[in-house]
Amino acid sequence: MTLNTASCSALFLTAPASNQGKTTITAALARHFANQGKVVKVFKTGPDYLDPQILAQASGQPVEQLDIWMAGEEYCREMLFKAAQTADLILVEGAMGMFDGEPSSADLAAAFGIPMAIVMDVQGMAQTAAALALGLARFRPDVNVAGIIANRCGSERHAQLIREALPPDIPLLLSLKRNEEVTLPERHLGLVQAIEVKEELEVRFQAAVDWLAQAPDNQLLSLPRAIEFQAPNGEASVCAPLLKNKVIAIAKDEAFSFIYDANLQALKSLGAEVRFFSPLHDAKLPAADALWLPGGYPELHAHALSENTKMKQAIYHFYDLGKPILAECGGMLYSFETLTDLSQQTYPMIGMLRGNGVMRSKGGCQGMQTAPFPEGDIRGHAHHRSLSENTSEPIAYGKRQRHPAPGEAIFRNKGLTASYLHLFFSSNLVATATLFGGANE
């Protein structure tokens, strides 16, 4: 007999705005409980590749996305239910501010009954922090606020002023002193990839655990209360093995790492075998039926990518055979004729697509979009700081979530499909399988 609920301690970390310290504190809590031998499952709200890398290293577990629009409510329900069956603690890190976006972090927390802790940078305010927390907590009756976490608190007196101004049902869960030793390294698209600073992160995680332990009146050093997570309606999602006996080669190294773990699991659920390779370091492709060039930071490695002519030739040959290739964002820049980096140096790339990628220090595009492929709609998002110039005519444009203006251009040449869009495969498994050359049953 299958149980319809699973019980697990859970906490949703949110904030009034970005840059309040959510990722740092989520990572600190994850490592704190992992050090106690607890199984900590962390989820990240919305599209994000960089925070999950950090949180996965902190928790020792894969980190997956939860997004009601991109993945669907039933998918999110299934992921939480599965996690609750094996984890001691579920942590969810929100995106932007608590009520920002459609759907917002608050929408997600309310849908699954997860209590929210409001992380707030209280530098430069005291009782006002309590007023802001009260407004956030009372803004919607379906949101359960467990309390606030005062980050960058100046002193115990500072924390006391905030604590005394809060109502009894919104406690000060934790006050954390300013500490630059725990700050996570950043660059132009957000946090630095975990793979680049693995040892440094370990030092910062240990400092963060000590940071938590030294906090006065810390109410988060023991597991928060358990809540019940419901099983998905009906059976867990199952898809026909449309990619059975197919091998998909996936670029993965310092230049290409924007890969949702959920996407890998989706490909495997479709029956595919995945094999990784490095455009930076390898001289040839693994034997494969299809190729995936995901996003990342090719602009930081443009010279090395350009110099690896054997790999460029191997990928071009694969393309010339007409085999399926998906190139997302950074993968598309690699597919163009040239790429100009942030120092305005231009390097030759593979040349599967007509056009030039040009990095820019300001501006860019981000947001949720649907890719209207001939194979079917697949949801995803855009986040980039580059322009594509002198391109061929696109076959379609992404459909923005809320705005009528055309979204990102979608290009197709032979078996190559390329766009700035990062796709979430589980939003349409059949279309994803067909995109990679699977049989549409």
Active site residues: 329
CB neighbours (10 Å) of residue 338? 18
Q: Give the distance from CA 8 to its chain's centroid.
A: 23
Q: Specify the amino acid at residue 6.
A: A
Closest-CA residue to 114 (of 43, 65, 25) = 43
How far from 309 is each of 327, 393, 431, CA to CA, in Å?
Answer: 19, 27, 33
Alpha carbon distance 92, 114 (integer Å): 9
Most distant pair of Cα atoms in the chain: their distance: 70
Alpha carbon distance 164, 172 (integer Å): 9
Residue owning tokens 């869960």: 173
Q: Give the distance from CA 349 to its chain's centroid.
A: 27
Neighbouring residues of 327: CB distance < 8 A, sequence distance ≥ 6: 293, 334, 335, 352, 353, 416, 417, 418, 419
**Cα dihedral: 141, 143, 145, 150 (round 10):** -110
Q: Specify the amino acid at residue 219.
A: Q
Measured over the CA atoms of residue 111, residue 116, residue 121 and residue 122, the dihedral's sign is positive
DSSP per-residue codes, 37-81: T--EEEEEESS-SHHHHHHHHHHTS--EEE-HHHH-HHHHHHHHH
Cis amide leading into 103 (omega within 30):
yes
Q: Specify the amino acid at residue 42.
A: V
Residue owning tokens 């239910």: 81
Region for residue 12 given its phi and psi (left: phi exceeds 0; alpha: psi -120 to 50; beta: otherwise): beta
Alpha carbon distance 172, 162 (integer Å): 8
Residue owning tokens 């996690």: 83
**CB neighbour class for 237 (10 Å; exposed up to 12, middle 13-18, buried from 19):** middle
